[in-house]
Amino acid sequence: MNDDAVRGDESNESAADPQAEIARLRAQLANLRLLANTVPVAIAYYEAAGRTCQMANRRYAEMFGFDERSIVGRPLEAVIGAAAAAQIEPYRHRVIEERTAAAYEREVAGADGITRIAEVRLLPHVDAEGTSLGAFVLIADITHHRRAEAALRESEERLAKFMQASEEGIVFHKDGYITDANPPLLALLGYTLDEMLGRLALEFIAPEAHPQAAGIMAAAAETSYDSIVLHKDGTRIPVQFIVRTMQHQGQTQRLTIVRDIRDRLQAEQRIQHLAHHDALTGLPNRLAFVERLERRMAEARASGESLALMFIDLDHFKRINDSLGHAVGDTVLKTAATRITEALRAGDMVGRFGGDEFLVLLAPRAGAGVVAEVGERLLATIGAPLAAGGVTISVTPSIGVALFPQDGATSAELIQHADQAMYRAKAGGRARCRFFEAGMAEAALAELALESRLAVAVREREFVLHFQPQVALAAANGDAAGAGTATGRPRLLAVEALVRWAHPQRGLLAPDEFIPLAEARRLILPIGAWVLNEALAAAARWRDSGAVTAPVAVNLAALQFQGSGFVDTIRAALAASGADGSMLEIELTERMLLAQPREARDALGALREMGVTITLDDFGTGHTSLAQLKDLPVQRLKMDRGFVAGLPGDEASMAIARAIVQMGHGLKLEVVAEGVETEAQRVALAAIGCDALQGHLLARPMSEAQWLQWLRGQAGANGL
Ligand code: C2E
Ligand code: MG
Ligand code: MG
C-alpha cells in the first residue's frame, strides 16, 4: 500500500493514456482511502484556490456529519462552519501563503453533539515550482489527554488548597529533600517555609527515629506510624506520620501528613495512669501494686533475696471521716500517703490498697530487725500530728508485716498474711507493728469475732461477777484442820469482785480474754461502770442481810482512773447503791499511779476521805519506790501471785515476798498474798508475817450464790 501510494506521486508525470491513467488513479485513491480510514486520525485535503474539500477520510467526514463522498467538493465553511473557519483563518493563511505547517488546538462541536478537543495540524501541499496547491488537514482527538491533564491540574489545585486549609501539618519531599510544607507544619516546627525548603526531611526528625523513617522512605511505603519531630527550639514533639506517594508540582513526590499527637498521648497516659493509680493520693492502686509485687517476687525468687510486705491501716479512720467530714478524711489519707512515701528509700514501693489501707514493699534488706526499724519509723512519721480542716489530729497506723518467701508463696497469700499481722497489731492496742506468725490467722479471726461481739455484750450486759474472799492469815492458819484457833475468829478482810463475760456461745470468758481488748476499744469504761455498780449493789444486799461486813474489792482499769470525773463516778455509784465508802475497796496497779502521781494522790485522798480502801494490786511487778508509796494514801499491798507461785522453794521469790511484807509493814500497810494454792505457800507466807491471803487454797472465785453459801459454810465451821 505504501509503495502504491508513493508510486502514485511519481506516475503523475507519465500520463499517456487518460483512461488508463484514471483507472490507475482510482485504484491509488482506493488504496489511499483504505489507508486513510485505518489510521486513528481524521484526514482531509482542501485545495488552495476554492478551499473546497478534495478528500477526507471517514473519520473526518463523520466528524462533521458527512461521509467520504458527500463531503468532497464542499467549501471549508460548509464543512466546519463559518465561525470555525474564521477562527482558523490565520493558520490556513499561513499554510497557503507562507507554505509552512501550522498546528493548533480547538474545540470541535461534533455532528454527534459531542464537543471534542482536537489537535489540528495543517501541512502545505506545494508543487515543484513552490506554488501552494492545497493543505492537508490532520486532526487527532486529544479530548482524553486534555481531560486527564485538567483533572491532574485540578487535583493539584485541590491539594494546594487542602494543604493550606488543613489543620494538620503537610510536607512534601522528593528523594528526601523537602519541596513544600503547609502553614500548620511550619507552625508545629517553628520554621519558615524558606528555612525548610531544600533541607533533608530527616533533619527534622529525632535521631532515634531516623532508621524507621528512612526505611519507610526508601521502600516508598504507604503507611502511618508514630515518630518524633524536632521543633526549631529543640522540643521533641510526638507525631503520627501518614505517608503517601503523590504527584505534586508535576513530579512524583512523597507526601507526609504530620499529626501532632501530644494531646492523644497525654490522654492515653492519663487513662493509663487512672487505671493504675489512685486518684486521691496519686499512688499506684491495688492492681498496679500487685502487678509490681508479683514482678518483684519473681526477681527475688530468682536471686534468692527476701522481701518484706507491710500492710498499713490507719487507726480509727472511719471515726475521723464520720466526725470531721470527708474533706478532712481525704487530707489525712493524702498526708499519710506522702509521709509513707517520704519515709521509704529508693527501691521500696508503696500503693494504696483501698480505703485507709496502704501497702509497702521493702526492697531486700538485712533481716527482720531492719524491717522492724522501718516499721517504727513509719509509726512515728504517719502518727505525727497533722492539721486538717482547722483542727490538729494525730492518726496512728497499725502495721502488719509478712516476709517473702517464708510467709507466703503468692502475692495473695503474702498480702493476706500481712493483713492478719496488721489485725493482730490492732488487737494488741493499735499504733504498733507486728510480724506475721503462723496461727495468727485463727487468732486474728477469734479476736475479730470477739471484738465485734464485745460491743454487743456491753449493750446487752452479758457480764457476771464472781467473788473471791481474802482472809486474814492468822485465821486461815488454823483453817487447815477446818476449825478456828484459840487466837481468835478468822477474819474476812475483803471479797474481790472479778468480772466474767457470759458469752452466749463460748460460755464464761475470763477477764484476760477480753479485758485487754475492752481497754483497747475503750469499752472498759462501760464495763467498769457496770462492775462498780453491781459490786456495790451486792455489797449493799449483803449488808442488809447481815451476811458480810467486809468491803467488796473492785479492780479498776487505767482508763477509768485517768478520767477527770473518776472521784465523782465513785461517789455517784456509792449513792446509787446506797452503800457507803467503807464498803468499797479499789484495786489499782502501780503503773496507774505512776502515770500521774499528783492527780493520783489527790483522787485517792478524796476517796480515802469517803472511807474507801485503796489497794495496790499485783504489787512487785511495777517499779514503785518506797518514797512514792509513802506519799500515797494506800492501805493494802497485794503481793503479785507470780512471787507466791515460787514459794517456798524459789529463793528469789522468797526474798522478794519477805521484802514486800517488811516494806509494807514499815509503811503500816497490810500485805495480802494472792494466788495461794498450797498449804506450803500458806505456811511460808505465815512465816514471813504476811497479813492475809487469797487463792484456791481458800476458795476459787464463785458466783454470788456459791459465795454466800461458802460464807455460810465458813461461819458454821469457824465463825468467819
Ligand atoms: P487480779 O486482780 O490480780 O485478780 C486475781 C486473779 O487471780 C483472778 O483471775 C483470780 O481468779 C485469780 N486467782 C485467784 N486465786 C488463784 C489461785 O490460787 N491460783 C491462780 N493461778 N489464780 C488465782 P481472773 O478472775 O481471771 O482475773 C484476772 C485479772 O483480770 C484480775 O487480776 C484483774 O486484773 C482483771 N480483772 C478482773 N475483773 C476485773 C474488773 O472488773 N475490772 C478490771 N478492770 N479488771 C478486772
Ligand atoms: Mg485484783
Ligand atoms: Mg492481782
Say yes or no: CB of residue 183 within 6 Å of ligand 1.
Answer: no
Position 632 in a domain: yes
Say yes or no: CB of residue 528 within 6 Å of ligand 1.
Answer: yes
Please tell me the total count of domains within the chain.
4
Name the grid cell of 560. 477509768
Which CATH number covers residue 525? 3.20.20.450
Tell me which residue has cell 519509723. 377
Neighbours of ion ligand 3 (CB under 5 A): 617-618
Q: Give the CA count within 13 Å in the CB-facing half-sphere of 187.
A: 10
Say yes or no: CB of residue 451 within 6 Å of ligand 1.
Answer: no
At residue 240, what are phi and psi to the nearest 5 degrees?
A: -110, 130
Distance of CA 513 to the CA centre of its chain: 40
Q: Is 81 exposed, middle or buried (0-12, 13-18, 19+ CB in 10 A)?
A: middle
Ligand 1 atom showing the smallest separation from residue 694 Cα: 15
Q: Compute the distance from residue 516 Cα to the ligand 3 centre, in Å.
A: 15
Residue type, 38: T
Among 616, 621, 674, say which to mutate for ligand 1: greatest number of ligand atoms within 8 Å of CB: 674
| pLDDT, position 252 | 86
**pLDDT tens, 453-476?**
888 999 999 999 999 999 998 744
CA–CA separation, 490 and 692 (whole Å): 10
Q: Compute the distance from residue 590 Cα to the ligand 2 centre, in Å.
A: 12
CA–CA separation, 301 and 608 (whole Å): 66
Q: Are residues 468 and 616 in the same domain?
A: yes
Among 462, 464, 470, 498, say which to mutate for ligand 1: greatest number of ligand atoms within 8 Å of CB: 498
Q: Are residues 630 and 700 in the same domain?
A: yes
Q: Are residues 186 and 134 in the same domain?
A: no
Q: Are residues 132 and 155 in the same domain?
A: no
Q: Are residues 210 and 296 in the same domain?
A: no
Going by alpha carbons, the residue nearest to atom 37 of ligand 1 is: 498
Position 449 in a domain: no
| pLDDT, position 16 | 67
At residue 270, what are phi and psi to the nearest 5 degrees?
A: -65, -45
Q: Are residues 184 and 321 in the same domain?
A: no
Q: Per DSSP, what are the bridge partners of residue 283?
A: none
Q: What count of residues does the chain have?
A: 720
> Which residue range(s) make up the domain with 657?
456-713
Say yes or no: CB of residue 617 within 6 Å of ligand 1.
Answer: yes
| pLDDT, position 14 | 53
Going by alpha carbons, the residue nearest to atom 12 of ligand 1 is: 675
- Ranges of the chain whose pLDDT falls below 50: 1-11, 475-488
Q: Are residues 348 and 475 in the same domain?
A: no
Q: Are residues 483 and 392 in the same domain?
A: no
Q: Compute the distance from residue 198 Cα to the ligand 2 centre, in Å.
A: 99
Q: Are residues 351 and 431 in the same domain?
A: yes
| pLDDT, position 595 | 67
Going by alpha carbons, the residue nearest to atom 17 of ligand 1 is: 675
Which of 265, 292, 315 is the last residue in one of the domains? 265
CA–CA separation, 244 and 256 (whole Å): 6
CA–CA separation, 464 and 256 (whole Å): 88
CA angle 544, 548, 549 (to 5 degrees): 90
Which of 141, 167, 199 is the last residue in one of the domains? 141
Q: Give the CA count within 13 Å in the CB-facing half-sphere of 115.
A: 5
**Among candidates 641, 711, 708, which has minimal Cα distance to 677?**
641
Going by alpha carbons, the residue nearest to atom 30 of ligand 1 is: 511
**Is the CA virtual torsion 207, 212, 215, 216 positive or negative?**
negative
Q: Are residues 415 and 345 in the same domain?
A: yes
Which CATH number covers residue 430? 3.30.70.270
CA–CA separation, 305 and 703 (whole Å): 58
Q: Are residues 45 and 178 in the same domain?
A: no
Which CATH number covers residue 203? 3.30.450.20
Say yes or no: CB of residue 182 within 6 Å of ligand 1.
Answer: no
Position 619 in a domain: yes
| pLDDT, position 626 | 64
**Which ligand does the CA of 498 lie closest to?**
1
Position 274 in a domain: no
Q: Are residues 126 and 206 in the same domain?
A: no
| pLDDT, position 469 | 96
Which of 72, 107, 141 is the last residue in one of the domains? 141
Going by alpha carbons, the residue nearest to atom 41 of ligand 1 is: 499
Strand-by-strand arrangement of the 115-126 sheet: 53-56, 42-47, 132-141, 115-126, 102-109
Say yes or no: CB of residue 13 within 6 Å of ligand 1.
Answer: no
Distance of CA 614 to the CA centre of its chain: 57
DSSP 8-state symbol, 571: H
Q: Compute the distance from residue 498 Cα to the ligand 1 centre, in Å.
A: 6
Ligand 1 atom showing the smallest separation from residue 535 Cα: 41
